[in-house]
């Protein structure tokens, strides 16, 4: 493990362009559970699986049901950046990291100080009226209960990519460009099972692909360095 971390640090110091791609595991270490697992076998509080509730058609059909789950399981306004977020922000500040590409929607990278953050699945911090497009902060949304409404009567929707919805093509293109031009690519906190992680990986052409994840991923054999450990411990320790 120490040898692997030493190699990681050497590559970080040598690489002229490094990009980080992070998944749910980066946020779980800040106490934000992966919503795919939160309503599992142990607490079947909801009649439908999360994937169904967090879908476009469910939102349109039952914004009440959507917001009950969303407020309960997807908003963590008190969560704080962990050592992984802080290290990535410091690396960017030092000119050693070009961008953070994330599947998380919690805004913790920006809270840690990262500036170039590509949010593939949107952000809970941006919300907009479906009728007049006026935007709302998370705290405005948190102030009320149930379905939030705009003054104009429109329903406020989070700028979060729901199931059945496409990813923002601009964000995807920028992510692909960063990965294509990266000398070093660090993938952390994801098993790469969730779209579009595996697809984006194909753009990488370098020979410093680092996978940091607690469990093994199907892409371990493609990586140049695999560290099976907590992302916060590896990057921040
Ligand atoms: Zn409105």
Confidence tier at 37 by pLDDT (50, 70, 90): low
Q: What is the mean pLDDT of residues 67-89?
A: 95
43 is a catalytic site residue:
no
- Is 3.50.50.60 the CATH classification of the domain at 1-31+81-121+167-237? no
pLDDT at residue 66 above 70?
yes
pLDDT at residue 39 above 70?
no
Averaged pLDDT of the chain? 92
Query: In this structure, are residues 73 and 44 in contact, taking their beta carbons and an 8 Å threshold?
Result: no
* Segments making up each domain of the chain, as ranges: 1-31+81-121+167-237
Q: What is the mean pLDDT of residues 40-64?
A: 83
Distance from Cα 128 to the centre of ligand 1, integer Å: 8
Distance from Cα 28 to the centre of ligand 1, integer Å: 34
Provide the pLDDT for residue 237.
74
Distance from Cα 161 to the centre of ligand 1, integer Å: 20
Q: What is the mean pLDDT of residues 32-48?
A: 68
Confidence tier at 41 by pLDDT (50, 70, 90): very low
Q: What is the token pair recorded at 146?
A: 């149930």
Query: What pTM did the predictor assign?
Result: 0.94
Distance from Cα 111 to the centre of ligand 1, integer Å: 28
DSSP state of 168: P
* Catalytic residue selected from 43, 85, 109, 121: 121
Provide the pLDDT for residue 198.
77
pLDDT digits (tens, 9 = 90+) for 118-167: 999 999 999 999 999 999 999 999 999 999 999 999 999 999 999 999 99
pLDDT at residue 72 above 70?
yes
Query: In this structure, are residues 165 and 56 in contact, taking their beta carbons and an 8 Å threshold?
Result: yes
pLDDT digits (tens, 9 = 90+) for 178-233: 999 999 999 999 887 777 777 899 999 999 999 999 888 888 888 999 999 999 99
**Any bridge partners for residue 100, and if so which?**
20, 117
CA distance 120 to 51: 17
Provide the pLDDT for residue 83.
97
- Nearest CA to 200 among 231, 232, 173, 218? 173
Query: In this structure, are residues 11 and 179 in contact, taking their beta carbons and an 8 Å threshold?
Result: no
Share of the chain above pLDDT 90, in %: 80
Provide the pLDDT for residue 43.
58
Q: What is the token pair recorded at 173?
A: 């293109």
């Amino acid at each position: 493990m120490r040898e692997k971390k030493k190699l990681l640090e050497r590559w970080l110091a040598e690489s002229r362009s490094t990009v980080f791609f992070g998944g749910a595991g980066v946020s779980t270490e800040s106490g934000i559970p992966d919503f795919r697992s939160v309503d599992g076998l142990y607490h079947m509080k909801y009649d439908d699986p999360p994937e169904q509730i967090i879908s476009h058609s469910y939102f349109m059909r039952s914004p009440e049901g959507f917001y009950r789950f969303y407020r309960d399981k997807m908003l963590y306004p008190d969560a704080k950046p962990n050592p992984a977020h802080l290290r990535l922000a410091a690396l960017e500040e030092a000119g050693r990291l070009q961008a953070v590409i994330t599947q998380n929607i919690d805004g913790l990278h920006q809270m840690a100080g990262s500036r170039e953050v590509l949010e593939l699945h949107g952000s809970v911090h941006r919300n907009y009226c479906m009728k007049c497009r006026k935007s709302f902060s998370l705290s405005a949304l948190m102030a009320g209960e149930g379905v939030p409404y705009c003054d104009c009567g429109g329903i406020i929707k989070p700028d979060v990519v729901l199931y059945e919805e496409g990813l923002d093509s601009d964000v995807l293109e920028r992510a692909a460009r960063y990965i294509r031009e990266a000398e070093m690519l660090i993938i952390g906190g994801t098993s790469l099972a969730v779209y579009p992680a595996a697809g984006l990986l194909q753009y990488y052409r370098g020979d410093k692909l680092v996978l940091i994840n607690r469990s093994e991923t199907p892409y371990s054999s493609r990586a140049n360095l695999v560290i099976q450990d907590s992302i916060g411990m590896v990057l921040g320790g």
